[in-house]
Amino acid sequence: MDRSNILKRLNRVEGQVRGIARMIEDERYCMDVLTQLQAVKAALSRVEDAVLKEHAQVCVETAIASGDESEQRAKFEELVDLFGKLKR
């Protein structure tokens, strides 16, 4: 996994969240705060996509290549569980 890229993104999100906290402390206009919250959600979604892509490319691919049916089934069930949680 390109952990350095993921960590950079997460550090950026962390800074955005601190900025939002300051905005609230400074009683900034609600729509400005909401805009920044949407930006944080979008940034976290991109991080999630990157981690999921890495999981599919490495973990799932390794399970498939292993030929181990129980490992393959476990990786498949992980993905099904994850997508079930995302729908809620």
Q: What is the pLDDT of residues 29-61, one digit of tens each?
A: 999 999 999 999 999 999 999 998 888 888 888
d(CA 6, CA 44): 10
> What is the structure's pLDDT at 44?
96
CATH architecture of 3-87: Up-down Bundle (1.20)
Question: How far from the centroid of its chain's Cα atoms is residue 31's Cα?
Answer: 25
- Segment 14-22 mean pLDDT: 98
What pTM was computed for the model?
0.78
- Check pLDDT > 60 for residue 73: yes
Helix or strand (DSSP H, E) at 39: helix 30-54
Question: How far from the centroid of its chain's Cα atoms is residue 1's Cα?
Answer: 13
- Check pLDDT > 90 for residue 3: no
Give the domain ranges of the chain.
3-87
